[in-house]
Amino acid sequence: MSRSLRVIFAGTPAFAAVSLAALLDSRHQVVAVYTQPDRPAGRGRKLTPSPVKALALNHDLPVRQPASLKTAEVQAELAAFDSDIMVVAAYGLLLPQAVLEIPPLGCVNVHASLLPRWRGAAPIQRAIEAGDRESGITIMQMDAGLDTGAMLLEQRIPITATTTGGDLHDRLAILGGEALVTALNALAQASLPATPQPLEGITYAAKLSKAEAALDFTLPAARLAAKIRAFNPWPVAWTRLDGEPLRLWLAEAGVANDDSATAPGTLLPTSGQALRIACGARGDEVLNVTRAQLPGGKPLAARDLLNSRRERFTAGKRLGAPEDDRA
């Protein structure tokens, strides 16, 4: 059996908490947890600990929340934990070179993509939005670049035509925890070689914004459907209906529109199961929306919306003015 490693864990959101939980169930010893400072949340804007901090406190682990890792004082405190390795998962702070060099086995990252594809902030959503057929986890030896370090371990999973951002997030979080423990077990035996990332196929996953969630119905139906799934549950794709926001949660590309002159964004006669929207540059494609949300309501299956509010979705009505909302 390999030896137990002393681990500093650095992470913040729920995705990272799953990796921390996997570490706590492993043979390795978490000696300290670093996470982002508490943030205001909820209607009362009460300071709220991150999911990683909450889990760490439940296990009586030392928690540190520095605003930066660049000061000598913070780095000295980190070194005093005398760890073998530092694990980073969606931490939210850059690690300076001085920190990367503190643990004898360096710092490893749990990254939610198949590197070098989708380096950066939002790899899960960008993979779905781009129409990728698979995603995965890369355990990476960190260096000074943005997700440029050598790869230690890779695990793949498929992306299907119904996969949402939330679905993929949850699956990759579990896979990340499993891959992390496998990698640490191998590193403890000095049996995990590092492979440099390929120079081909590099892409970057820009951070998501609410502004880009406004839909442009001149785009092809398949691209719109992928974007709607990618942005579920946040920031949620949307358009306007009668001047009010209409949030779209699930959709798929439909059969081509027979009314070739229909303007993009026009509601078409419904099937009763989906909102049918003309799209594409010539308005000759169809987007079938199967789950949507009116202001003040909950997300509903399209058939339930049509049964209760059919008068809101009259054929011929035009959705959108997204150009104005994105400005």
Determine if residue 115 is labeled as part of a ligand binding site: yes
Determine if residue 260 is labeled as part of a ligand binding site: no
For residues 317 and 241, is the Cβ–Cβ distance under 8 A?
A: yes
Phi-psi region of 275 (alpha: psi -120 to 50; beta: other; left: phi over 0): beta
What is the number of other CB atoms lying within 10 angstroms of the CB of residue 68? 9
Query: What is the rounded end-to-end Cα distance, in angstroms, of the chain?
Result: 59
Among the listed residues 147, 137, 146, 143, the one whose alpha carbon sits nearest the alpha carbon of residue 180: 137
Q: What is the bridge-based pairing of β-strands 29-34 and 244-253?
A: unpaired
For residues 179 and 140, is the Cβ–Cβ distance under 8 A?
A: no
d(CA 236, CA 248): 7
Three-class HEC string of 100-166: HCCCCCCEEEEECCCCCCCEECCHHHHHHHCCCCEEEEEEEECCCCCCCCCEEEEEEEECCCCCCHH
Provide the annotated binding site for (6S)-5,6,7,8-tetrahydrofolate: 113-116
Provide the annotated binding site: 113-116
